[in-house]
A and B are shown apart, each in its own frame.
Chain A
C-alpha cells in the first residue's frame, strides 16, 4: 500500500515511516523543503514530497493515489504561541485541505495526530483523564487542534483521532529556559517509537475506525515533572539545574485503556532510561 505522512520528516514521522516500511508499505513523505530530510531519505520505499500544508493544491496532489493518510504536520509550541494566525493556517486550514482531498474517498482512512493538550490544565481534577474529558482551548495550539478534530469529525472521512502525550525521544535534549510543567505536576510522556506504533496500528485496525484515543506511556511513565527530568538527565550522566514552570500546564496522567487495542505501549520508562544510557555512551557523555 502507499501511505502519505504529512509532517513526516520530524522525529515521530520518521519512526512511523520506519514501521510502515518494515511492514512492506511505501510512503509519500510530505514536509517543508527546508526541514532536515536525511533521516527519512535513508528509509527504503520513501517518496519525498516537498511542499507546504497551507497550499490547498499541493495538499490535493500529495493525497492523490494513496491508501491512507497520517496527518502529523503542525506548528507546535513554543512556535505556535508566537503566531496565532500562522498556527491556525497550518494546523486548521492544513487539516481542512487534507479532509477536502479525502472527502470522496471513504476507503482512505485519515489518522490524525492530535494532542492531550486539548484537555487543558487538569491538575485539580480526578484522575485519570479519559477521552471523554471536555476539551478546553487554553492556547493557540490546543485551540487549533480542537478545531482540526472538529473538522475531521464533521466530515464524512474515515478517521481516527489520536491525542498524543508529549513525546519522549531517547536522545540528548537541551533543557529549555523554563521546563513547561511544574516540578510537582503529574506528567505522563510516551516513547516516540510507541507513539509511532499507535499511529500505524490505528491505520491497520478496522476496529479503531471513528475512534478517539489517548496515547500515553502508561503506568510506568506516570510521575512528577521533577522525577521525569531527574531520571532523564541522570541516565545521560549530566547534572542540570532545571527551572520549572510555576503554573500547572496541560500535561497529566491519562486513561489509555481505550487505546489498548492498538497494542503500542511496549517501552516502559525503565527501558527508556536504558536507551538513554546507551545514547550517553555513544555520545561520549559517560
Chain B
C-alpha cells in the first residue's frame, strides 16, 4: 500500500517539476496554472489521506494501484510537452489529469464516508 502511495506522490511531484521546464509561450499561462493546481490537489489528496486506515483494505489497495497508474501516465503526458505544446499533447495531459482527479476524489470521498460520527 505504502509503495503505491509513495510512487504516486513522487510521480505527481515530478510532473509539477516538469511543468516548470515547459517552454514559455508554448501554452497559455492560465491553462498551465490550471494544470498545476489540479496536480497539486491530487498530491494534497495523497498527503491528507496517507494515514487513512481504509487504504489497507482491498478497495484501498486497488484505488492506490489505479492512482499510481494514473500518476505515471500523467508524467508521460507532461513529458511530451517538453518538446513544445500541441493540441494532441495538451489533450493527452488533460486525459491523464482527469484520471488522477478521479482517483483523488475516490480517496477523499471514502475517507469522508468513513469518518467517525457521534450522536
Contact = CB atoms under 8 A, between A and B. Distances in A.
A285 B61 CA distance: 11
Contacts of B58: 283-284
A164 B53 contact: no
Interface stretch (A96-104, A171-179, A253-261): A171-179
A174 B119 contact: no
A281 B118 CA distance: 25
Contacts of B117: 11, 76-77, 167
A77 B119 CA distance: 7
Nearest to B57: A283
B116 A167 contact: no
B115 A164 contact: no
A152 interface: no
A176 B57 contact: no
A164 B119 contact: yes
A174 B57 contact: no
B114 A77 contact: no
B52 interface: yes
Interface in A234-272: 236, 238, 240, 251
A180 B53 contact: no
Interface in B99-119: 111, 113-119
Given A174-B52, A174-B111, A284 B116 contact: no
Contact of A165 (B57, B61, B111, B119): B119
A240 B53 contact: yes
Contacts of A180: 116, 118
Given A284-B58, A285-B57, A173 B115 contact: yes
A44 to B, nearest CB: 24
Contact of A171 (B52, B59, B111, B114): B114
A218 interface: no
Given A171-B114, A174-B54, A175-B53, A283 B119 contact: no
A62 B53 CA distance: 39
Contacts of A171: 114
Contact of A77 (B56, B57, B113, B118): B118
B58 to A, nearest CB: 3
A222 interface: no
Contact of B119 (A115, A176, A236): A115
Interface of B: 52-54, 56-59, 61, 111, 113-119
